[in-house]
Amino acid sequence: MTATPEDVSRQIERGARLMELLARTALADQRAFAELYRLTASHLYAVALRILRESALAEEVLQESFVSIWNNAGTYLSARSQPLTWLTSIVRNRCLDHLRRRALDTVTIDDEEQGMAIADDNPSPLDMLLASADARALRRCVEALDADQRQAVALAFYRGLTHSQLARHLKQPLGTVKSWVRRALERLKSCLDGAGINRSSER
C-alpha cells in the first residue's frame, strides 16, 4: 500500500516529536520521558511480544528497555537512525538477551524421554540457540541438580510457570520455591561456564 502525502507528513512530524522527546529525556526531563513512553510503549510492547511470545515477559522487557532508554537517551544520533528504529533496536536486543539466557536454562521435567526442549514447536531464535548448545554438557549440568531444583526450574522454564504458580503446584512456600530456582540457575550457570558453553549475553 502506497503511503499518501498525509501519511508521510504524519510520519515526519512523529519522528521530529520523538527526537525532541529523546533530547529532553537526555537532560533528565521526566515529563518528556513520560510522553515518550505514552507515544511508543504500545508499539514497542508489540515488538517484544512477537519475539518472546509471553505477555508477562514482554511487559518485563519493555520496562527494562525504558530504563535503558532513560539512561542512554543521550547516545541517540539522529544521523544514524530514526528515533523509533533506535527505540525498537533496544527492545529487540533486550528480548534476544532474554532468549539467550533462557536457552541455557531451559530444561524438561523428564529429559530422558523428551530431551532438552522448549514449549513452542515452531522454530524460533530460542530453538536455534538450543540447537547450537553442547547438549551433552547441558544434560550433565541438569542431572547434577537436586531433584527439587530440577523440577522447579523445569516447571518455570518449560511450562512458563511463575514463582507463585510454582509454589501452588509444588505445594511449597513461595520463599522455598524462589530459593530452589535461584540456586538451580546459579549451579547451572556455574556448571555451563566450566563446560565452556555459557556465553555471556551482557552488552
Model pLDDT, residue 97: 85
Model pLDDT, residue 85: 92
Class of domain 106-195: mainly alpha
Residues in the chain: 203
Cβ atoms within 10 Å of 34's Cβ, excluding its own: 12
Tens of pLDDT, residue by residue over 119-147, are: 344 443 444 334 444 556 666 777 788 88
Model pLDDT, residue 110: 38
- What's 15's DSSP letter? H
Tens of pLDDT, residue by residue over 67-110, are: 999 999 989 887 788 899 999 999 999 998 888 776 655 443 33
Percent composition of the chain: helix, strand, coil (DSSP 3-state, to 5): 75, 0, 25
- Which amino acid does the sequence have at 141? C
C-beta separation of 163 from 181 below 8 A:
yes
Model pLDDT, residue 11: 75
Model pLDDT, residue 174: 87
Give CATH for domain 5-98: 1.10.1740.10
What global pTM score does this model have?
Answer: 0.50
Tens of pLDDT, residue by residue over 162-175, are: 778 778 888 888 88
Residue 188's pLDDT band, with cuts at 50, 70 and 90, is confident
Query: Where in the chain do CATH 1.10.10.10 domains reside?
Result: 106-195
Model pLDDT, residue 175: 87
Tens of pLDDT, residue by residue over 24-61, are: 999 989 999 999 999 999 999 999 999 888 898 899 99
Query: Where in the chain do CATH 1.10.1740.10 domains reside?
Result: 5-98
